[in-house]
Structure 1
Amino acid sequence: MDTKLIDTYADLVVRRGINLQKNKSLAIMTGPGTYYFARALSKAAYRAGALHTQIFLDDLDVLAARLDNQDEEQLKQNPTFMKNFDYEMCSEGWGYIRIDSTEDRLDHAHLDNEKNQILGKAKRQFSATRFDKLMRHQLPWCVCCAPGPLWARQVLGDEATTDDMFEVLKPILLLDRKDPIAAWDEHDKKIKERQKKLNELHIDSLHYKSPVTDFTIGFDTHSRFIGGSEKLPDSRSFFPNLPSEELFTTPDRNRANGYITTTRPVSVLNTRTEEIRLEFKDGYVVDYRAKVGQDVMDSFFSIDEGTKRIGECALVDESNPIAKSGLIFDSILLDENASCHIALGDAYPSCLTNGEELSTEEELHSFGCNTSLMHVDFMVGSKEMDIIATTREGKEIQIMKSGLLTF
């Protein structure tokens, strides 16, 4: 692999992804197959003046062994030292980077869906404060990807290599530019221009229409679309996702009606799903079926009531480099930035103009903001998708035609 390219990419994620400041610390989550990039991120962090870096290993094969050998009560237990770590991370303003587990999802033993759901719920409850601060953008965080041989062969074919995958990712991550950091700053300006135009429409609802979807979702008057870089409380900017192509917002949890169908595979509880058809009435999933993954969707919807309501909807123009590649990446990071999507579960209070003032579940719900232990994105866009916006004044405006934004 090209070590110079890897270092350039790591510097981009550290300096723009989380905008790491001198004497701040960094936590990195990786699977075994992408550990090489976690090391590169740690080194890049120290070049940027980091105080500490800590790499956490998320090994799905080890997870499978835990699920096979522990009962429900054991799965609910979390080590005390993680509570101390969560406290330090929140109080000291650590950055957080997660490398998408594209390699490791292709190399692990079978995961027990029911037990995995129990474990995932327990972890979210245990670290609720940390998750809340990340969702509210009070800590810098970034999800990125790193190619490996298994992922390369899955996406590009049996003869593909990690280097081949890097060649595909270079234009997507703007690593083919002379100065990738400057290129991302320029890209962010364009996203912000679209964001401004979208919010000036004062959208009350969106109607999605395609051969597999007929769906309407509504918004509270406090909802706003955001995208690209985000702001921390100290006004520092960071990129929650690299790459980033979406404009997203928090819809009203009670205003979703009709049916909508996923158009790309989605990993739910570390299990692949395909062609999920979701039917909503007054914001709630009243029926669902999946071509692949019905069992795991049963487990997902049993976690809490919030999983059956929408926490996010995102608009993505299908002329972007990820969509133009014509590839299915089986990575939520890349696939969600190639296509319009919704998320079931927890919503982003930061997408409400008054989000910082809301702290309790009751307050969040009163402004349509959903709450849940989970947040999973489902891609629903395609080149056949049309979207009509209805403004608060009752005017209808077509904002997407055949998968392309019109503004």
Structure 2
Amino acid sequence: MIKRELIASLANREEGPVTVAGWVEKVRDQRYVQFVVLRDESGAAVQLVNGGVVRELDPNSEDPKDADRHVRTTAISEVATGSFVIVSGELQKNERVKLGGIEVQIDKFEVVTAADPETPVAPDSGIDVRLDWRFLDLRRPEQALIFKIQTTFLQALRNVWVEKGFIEVQTPKLMASASESRAELFQLEYFDTTAYLAQSPQFFKQMAQAAGFGGIFEVGPAFRADPSFTSRHATEFTSVDCEFSWIESHEDVMQLHEELIVAGFTAVKEKHGAEIEKLFGQTLEVPTVPFPRIPLAEAKEIVKERGYEVPRNDADMDPEGERQIHAYVKEKYGHDFVFLTDYATSIRPFYHMRHADNASLTNSYDLIYRGVEISTGAQREHRIAVLEQQTVEKGLDPKEMSFYLDFFRHGVPPHGGFGMGLARVLMLMLEQSSIRETTYLFRGPTRLQP
């Protein structure tokens, strides 16, 4: 390992010898002195000061007499933005320096890899250009922070699950049959048969309940052959999934769901709150519990009273309706989250349990955050006779679903769970315009690279 110190740690360090490494962000060449702004993966930057030359590694040099081997000399002003360098020098406190009141007087400056002088991405480049050069875009501190936040958020969720005795699983993404219908499925050749990319791990999550695992969770990819170009859709995305047994209703699922959200937001605020305020200009709020709960039918009436009517042929809540119900909840409860409950059987999958006293409604919910749906959860139907009947009612062939239905022929406890889009949560948390910003490498109808 190269011995160096992260730039973010220098503010708490005493003056003296130091070695840092990172990317050249800016070079300012004056008559007798050169200034370099260097940034590393910690997200922080430091000013380097030098009045001499720079040593650049040359991979083509084979001169055994060269004590430093693979080295040539060049003026510091010639170093291109984006070049990766290793610098040794003297750390000094200087209140006049805007970058944290410290600077490094250079003794040795080695260019490990020189960047092309012309940078293909500018600060004002559009999202498509930035995605074409995603590795350069991710060097920006705010972009790197997104994925540090993602790491903290997921770790907090895992902590809750593990403390409750949940088991982490990794389910297959190649399926022999469609999960619910053949809509929005990627189909591919698989030796002498056909396979499908999984839309969700739903069936495999429920298999774990039949296996007696109790509570399980998974963070993994999911695929939707949806030719959508909206700010919240992708053809490949990361799904946060959870399923657990011995529930009484979907209320149990909602309670765990909000507990996980609060844990994740609390961890992010504690670890990254100051950086979020600095780089994104907002103060992250940890939501209070319980989250408001509103039956879908009632939510539609509330939205109608606000001057917007969800189209009559749409049994679901449309995007504008979601925005309107969020505005209502924000005004009345001061909350950014709301559970919309009791969705119609007609728009829910066959495996959602129906109301005991009203078969037209399901024990299910959508979680809306800042006017956007981020998750769907439900109590599942675990009674084989009822499940077979609902399969037929949805127009599915029980023979094609036999591998799934077999789970329930051998005893399955009452259970439920949810699936949540990770990039959507981060997009809304940080008030970004698109999940393209909060997805490491975005995949959409027209993007397969990089």
Q: TM-score range by the shorter chain?
A: under 0.3
Point out the structure with the larger helix share: 1
Compare relative contact order (CA 8 Å, sep 6+) and give the higher one, 1 or 2: 1
TM-score, reference length from structure 1:
0.23
The structure having more radius of gyration, on CA atoms, is 2
